[in-house]
Structure 1
Amino acid sequence: MSKLNSAAKLRHVFDDDVFNLITYGEKNNLLVGFSNGRVANYSYDEENNSLVEEWNTKRHKISCRNLSLTDDNSEFISVGSDCVLKLADTSSGRVTSKWIQEETASAELSPYSVVEWVEGNNIFATGDDDGCVTIWDRRKNGGVLHSHRDQIDYISSISPFEDRFMVATSGDGTLLVLDARNFKSAVLSEEQDDDLTCGAFTRDNNAKKKFAVGTASGVVTLFTKGDWGDHTDRIMPPIRSNDYSVETMNRAGADTLYIGGSDGCLRQLNILPNRYEKIIGQHTSKAGVDTADVSENGEYLISASGSELIFWGTGDDSNESNKADQDSEEESDETKSDESEDESSSDSDEPTQNSKRNKKSAKAAPKKKVPKTDFFDGL
């Protein structure tokens, strides 16, 4: 492998593109959603350095776009381009509940782009390609508690916090803060003039917790929790390229994030002081990082680019600096702050033993002028 890939512990190439993955459990189990609508569960055999398939099932008619596990890892929800949500048992892959989106006179079908558990193992949220965020309760007949149409382009991420709240980022350049229990208290940020591609909380040990947002221009912006009107800091891209964008964002520590870029690189970003510290690795195709997650013990960062999946070691043996990145320049790491499928089985839910996300172009959105609110101050 090349110098950038020296931290790779395992490389596996699937037959189909990986759209989403979640790692869980002490044995580094891996739940994977594919472009052909299949969902599979794997375990990582460290002794033989290989993936072992536990089950594999056709779950959605088109593609499986996103997955979310319950807190106890016993169940997971999958969403697909077929506008269907399915709740299944993690150990077997068997479906226990499903919800089918129906077209109405006021709203056409819009594929789900993201799903995330918000409160306990009963309340979850979905986002779709048209910017609608829906709150669901699995115990309720029909499931839907409320829908929010404050955003007008695809929902790229949903990040829960404080048990009942969530932040939704959108391709229209806004983020939306919601309370799962109080449906009338939504707070919408100012438009950021850029697609918001992903988000994650950081600075947990600080009184002013930060929410980091990735963008299509490669800039990472920071919002302060409780002050959602506009960003407070901008972290410039690690390389100078008009084609570079932030594709994935995962927590690495209390003050650090793993950033997956459109150049196939995974980098570690420190927050306040804001600087890219090192390159974890780079996918061999140098295509964009489509999805990534951190193992439960923090030992591995698992990422996928197209059909290629790699387990990266996150310890000291990984690359220590960005010097290996031929496109980076010294000043580009500095930050600027504003303040200082098989059709014959297309609907089968029965697992077989041992056997992209589509990114929408951002729509032209009018500027939104939103009055400031202190509803979430201190939360």
Structure 2
Amino acid sequence: MAAPTEHVEVSSSSADPTETPEPKPPEPTRDPESSDSEPAGPDPHEDEDEDGGEPAAPKVRETPEDIRLEAIANTVAVHPGRDVLVCGDVDGDVYAFSYSCTEGETRELWSSGHHLKSCRQVRFSADGQKVFTVSRDKAVHELDVERGQLVTRIRGAHAAPINSLLLVDENILATGDDKGTLKVWDMRKGTSIMDLKHHDDYISDIAVDQAKRILLTASGDGTLGVFNIKRRRFELLSEYQSGDLTSVALMKRGKKVVCGSSEGTIYIFNWNGFGATSDRFAVKAESVDCIVPVTDSIMCTGSMDGYIRAINLLPNRVIGCIGQHVGEPIEELATSWDSRFLVSTGHDQLIKFWDISSLPNTTVNEYRKRKKKDGRMKSLTKKAHGDNDFFSGLVEETEKKEQDNEEEEEEEEDSDSDSGSD
């Protein structure tokens, strides 16, 4: 998660309450992509096809429809066992949606306006019954998933605005604020059991190992922090990196730790070797603001340039483009409970869905592939470069031909290729 920024409020104009427009007959909801020549009024035969047969079945898409919000969402999380997501926006509101590939079935379930300022992070509990949120108003909230009701509120949880949140287990959660303070909370008591400040700038992201013993914090001061939960103490800080560390994730079955940065570089640490990086990979991106692991070797990253990249770790390769929020920074990524979809939120006030079901089967050659002449990344989904469904088939066919041509050329050049990082 990148550095917190203040956003201009999104205002919507409302009609003058003194005006009373003449009542109009209700119009049926139409797909915005449908033809303008379709009749606006109700059609007595709209449920039947042209031959007078059975009514047409609802259209099933490859991915759920985009969700348009009233304000920019800073954060998104997906339910661990259902097709439900929650998001928090810059106005402090939290929304829950159920999503579906059947057209017209994605809908809002509830909304909560308990935060007074921007909601920075939302997370589901492991059992999916609770949602935890943190905000610029320095509060920690616990909500009921079914109805969105506020269950627990910790006012003034930090002295500075809270920026990051991690659920360690069903009772323990960790929070990091804009001044570099890390707190660990026991929600059964509603009190903090750790309160440590070793960073000089905001804590952008928090991760924990599988044993739930070591907390890792990425900070805007350019360091990775290591904290021992069991012993409730600070362990060490890494050496300073150039640029803010914006995200942290564990890869390679916990043997590697990767950190994204505001400089567009991914820093790689060995487990138990946090003092200095073991490797670094410069991605041709403005930044690497968020990281979500897909497999032990493949991760998806979001950037300020609006692109979602699939990246392989060791060998370090940009596999291709998953999708984009055209020209708008990406705030956060999440994977669905069944690992079929990647969910993203950006400054275009949209929550988008991307089909990544085939990504785990991707194999990466040790040798570097020749770059495309136009500099365009390989498309890994039909919507990768913002193309609509009509042109997606043409794009795939063209890219397949280009890939076949590239593979023929690479057979002659593989012996001379460099297997190092880009």
* Cα distance, 1:66 vs structure 2: 0.6
Match of 1:303 among 325, 328, 344: 344
Q: Single out whichever of 49-58 and 75-84 deviates more from structure 2.
A: 49-58
Match of 2:178 among 116, 129, 134: 129
1:188 corresponds to 2:201? no
The alignment's C-alpha RMSD in Å is 2.8
TM-score, normalization by structure 2:
0.69
Q: Single out whichever of 46-55 and 60-69 deviates more from structure 2.
A: 46-55
TM-score, normalization by structure 1:
0.77
Larger fraction in helix:
2
Shift in alpha-carbon separation, 1:68–1:168, aligned structure 2, 3 A = same
1:170 corresponds to 2:198? no
1:246 corresponds to 2:293? no
Residue deviations 1:204-257 (CA, integer Å, cap 9, x gap): 1xxx71111000110001011111101111111135xxxx01111001111110
Q: Name the counterpart of 1:218.
A: 264
* Cα distance, 1:201 vs structure 2: 0.7
* Cα distance, 1:49 vs structure 2: 5.5
* Cα distance, 1:54 vs structure 2: 1.0
Shift in alpha-carbon separation, 1:187–1:225, aligned structure 2, 3 A = same
* Cα distance, 1:334 vs structure 2: 7.8
**Which protein has greater RCO, CA pairs closer than 8 Å, 6+ apart?**
1
One-letter amino acid of the structure 1 residue matched with residue 280 of structure 2:
R
Give, in whole Å, the separation in 1 of the partners of 2:345 and 2:105.
Answer: 16
Shift in alpha-carbon separation, 1:35–1:226, aligned structure 2, 3 A = same
Q: Name the counterpart of 1:278.
A: 320
Q: Is contact 2:196-2:234 (8 Å) kept?
A: no
Give, in whole Å, the separation in 2 of the partners of 1:271 and 1:191.
Answer: 22
Q: Is contact 2:77-2:334 (8 Å) kept?
A: yes
Match of 1:84 among 132, 139, 163: 139
Shift in alpha-carbon separation, 1:196–1:50, aligned structure 2, 3 A = farther
Q: How does 1:1-379 map to 2 (within 5 A)?
A: 9-48=64-103, 50-101=105-156, 109-118=159-168, 120-140=169-189, 142-161=190-209, 162-204=211-253, 209-239=255-285, 244-284=286-326, 286-306=327-347, 307-316=349-358, 323=372, 326=375, 336=421
One-letter amino acid of the structure 1 residue matched with residue 333 of structure 2:
A
Q: Which secondary structure does the structure 2 equivalent of 1:246 belong to? A: coil
* Cα distance, 1:69 vs structure 2: 1.7
For structure 2, the 5+ residue unaligned runs are: 1-32, 34-60, 363-368, 379-405, 407-417
* Cα distance, 1:99 vs structure 2: 0.9
Q: Is contact 2:214-2:227 (8 Å) kept?
A: yes
* Cα distance, 1:115 vs structure 2: 1.1
Shift in alpha-carbon separation, 1:152–1:116, aligned structure 2, 3 A = same
Q: Is contact 2:89-2:120 (8 Å) kept?
A: yes
Shift in alpha-carbon separation, 1:334–1:49, aligned structure 2, 3 A = farther
Q: Number of residues paired by the alignment?
A: 315
Residue deviations 1:26-78 (CA, integer Å, cap 9, x gap): 43210111111111111112222552111111021111111122111111211
Q: Which secondary structure does the structure 2 equivalent of 1:45 belong to? A: coil
For structure 1, the 5+ residue unaligned runs are: 104-108, 338-379
Q: Which secondary structure does the structure 2 equivalent of 1:230 belong to? A: coil
Shift in alpha-carbon separation, 1:317–1:227, aligned structure 2, 3 A = closer
Give, in whole Å, the separation in 2 of the partners of 1:293 and 1:149.
Answer: 28
Give, in whole Å, the separation in 2 of the partners of 1:95 and 1:56.
Answer: 11
Q: Single out whichever of 189-198 and 148-157 deviates more from structure 2.
A: 189-198
Give, in whole Å, the separation in 1 of the partners of 2:199 and 2:62.
Answer: 39
Q: Is contact 2:167-2:173 (8 Å) kept?
A: yes
* Cα distance, 1:300 vs structure 2: 0.5
Give, in whole Å, the separation in 2 of the partners of 1:324 and 1:73.
Answer: 46
Q: Is contact 2:67-2:352 (8 Å) kept?
A: yes
Give, in whole Å, the separation in 1 of the partners of 2:105 and 2:118.
Answer: 25
Shift in alpha-carbon separation, 1:324–1:39, aligned structure 2, 3 A = farther
Residue deviations 1:334-366 (CA, integer Å, cap 9, x gap): 8549xxxxxxxxxxxxxxxxxxxxxxxxxxxxx
* Cα distance, 1:129 vs structure 2: 0.2
Give, in whole Å, the separation in 2 of the partners of 1:136 and 1:324.
Answer: 52
Q: Is contact 1:199-1:213 (8 Å) kept?
A: yes
Q: Single out whichever of 44-53 and 55-64 deviates more from structure 2.
A: 44-53
Larger fraction in strand:
1
